[in-house]
Amino acid sequence: MLGLGELADMLDNRFPALGPVPRGALRAAVRLFEEEDDVGNTLGCLLAGALALLLLGRDDDGTTLAAAVRREADRVAMIALLDAGAE
């Protein structure tokens, strides 16, 4: 599983056309997630991002992110929280 630092590196490699400013903003967001101690909040934000990607037609990215959020939620035994929000 990717760590957040590895995720930032992946974003740099996957979206080089974004340029340094957007990639810098992504790296700053990753740092904020690393410092966040509220796992439920972090997973909720990431799930919202996955849903936004799906709405934008980026099905592969949205599905991949949603699956990663679910795996992490399973790991921290928070799946019931995510399922309750999906109803």
Q: Give yes or no: residues 45 and 67 share one domain.
A: yes
% of residues, the chain, pLDDT over 70: 60
User: Which range is most confident: 23-27, 34-38, 52-56, 71-75?
Assistant: 52-56
Q: Give yes or no: residues 43 and 13 share one domain.
A: no
Q: Give yes or no: residues 28 and 58 share one domain.
A: no
The pLDDT of 53-82, averaged and rounded, is 81
Q: Give yes or no: residues 59 and 79 share one domain.
A: yes
Of 16 and 74, more confident: 74
Q: Is 0.85 surpassed by the pTM of this model?
A: no
Q: Give yes or no: residues 26 and 64 share one domain.
A: no
Angle (CA) 22 61 83, round 5°: 115
CA atoms of 23 and 81, how far apart (whole Å): 31
CA atoms of 46 and 62, how far apart (whole Å): 10
Q: Give yes or no: residues 42 and 81 share one domain.
A: yes
CA atoms of 34 and 45, how far apart (whole Å): 13
Q: Give yes or no: residues 50 and 81 share one domain.
A: yes
Which residue is associated with the tokens 């109803």?
A: 87
**Number of neighbours of residue 31 by Cβ within 10 angstroms:** 13
CA atoms of 17 and 34, how far apart (whole Å): 25
Q: Give yes or no: residues 25 and 4 share one domain.
A: yes
The pLDDT of 26-43, averaged and rounded, is 77
CA atoms of 12 and 21, how far apart (whole Å): 11
Residue 33 has pLDDT above 70, yes or no: yes
Q: What is the pLDDT of residue 45?
A: 85
